[in-house]
Amino acid sequence: MSDARPTDSDAPRSIPAPRAAETLHLLMRLRARGVNDKNVLRAFEAVPREFFAAPAHRDLAQRDVALPLGCGQSLGAPSDLALALAALDLTKEHHVLDVGTGSGYAAAIISHLAAKVISIERFRTLAIEARRRLDACGIDNVEVAQGDALTHLPGNGQFARVFIDFAVAEPPPAIVQRLAEGAICVFARPADPMCHIVRADALAGGDWREELIGLTRVGPPIAGISRHL
């Protein structure tokens, strides 16, 4: 991946200074959605969302809305992400799988809450740009890999927590096989016209205990690895 040359407009070279009033407004919005976990709120305060937004939409980054990214992808609404991450009950001991890197924003948030993050992205250019942003932020506990999490995950370790940023009826088998005992997986399940955010706790014997924690808008997965984008 090191031979790609994203343009200067793909990822800013310096981290923008946070705008206090807009950051405060965003944190209040997260609280209004029911996110009261202080560690999660601190992580959102620490990561400048505008640094992970596409250039044309950086002025909207502190609003609680989804924003377009390259390759037909999007940067989800902050409150939807905050609900999902709060439901994961993350601690500094957890190894986390982040499925659907996008801009790297979710991985950056998770990096403040967990020990290690493996983030999977099917689009090569998005993976490169996300790694560049994370490096610029000084985040060194996130590994970004290009791959198809529907069929294969890198490495051999197990994950205590999984965040899936696309809509599936159930967590894909390739992910389920890598869950540690007592793992928690948060994903979006299709429901007309939106998706349910689902927290699924892995139980003994391969069963799940599920809890619906909110609604979101997210697209279905795309199989395979992009060879050109």
Per-residue confidence (pLDDT) for residue 6, from 0 to 100:
39
In the predicted model, is pLDDT for residue 179 greater than 60?
yes
Contacting residues for 24 by C-beta, under 8 A, at least 6 apart: none
User: Average pLDDT in the 185-200 region?
Assistant: 95
pLDDT band at 93 (very low <50, low <70, confident <90, very high): very high
30-63 pLDDT, tens digit per residue, is 999 999 999 999 999 999 999 999 999 999 998 9
Domains and CATH numbers, the chain: 20-216 (3.40.50.150)
Per-residue confidence (pLDDT) for residue 155, from 0 to 100:
83
In the predicted model, is pLDDT for residue 68 greater than 60?
yes
DSSP 59: G
Contacting residues for 155 by C-beta, under 8 A, at least 6 apart: 118
User: Average pLDDT in the 148-174 region?
Assistant: 93
User: Average pLDDT in the 105-128 region?
Assistant: 97
Q: Which residue has the higher pLDDT, 94 or 14?
A: 94
pLDDT band at 100 (very low <50, low <70, confident <90, very high): very high
pLDDT band at 228 (very low <50, low <70, confident <90, very high): low
In the predicted model, is pLDDT for residue 147 greater than 80?
yes
pLDDT band at 225 (very low <50, low <70, confident <90, very high): confident
Per-residue confidence (pLDDT) for residue 75, from 0 to 100:
95
Burial of 225 (0-12, 13-18, 19+ CB in 10 A): middle
Per-residue confidence (pLDDT) for residue 12, from 0 to 100:
53
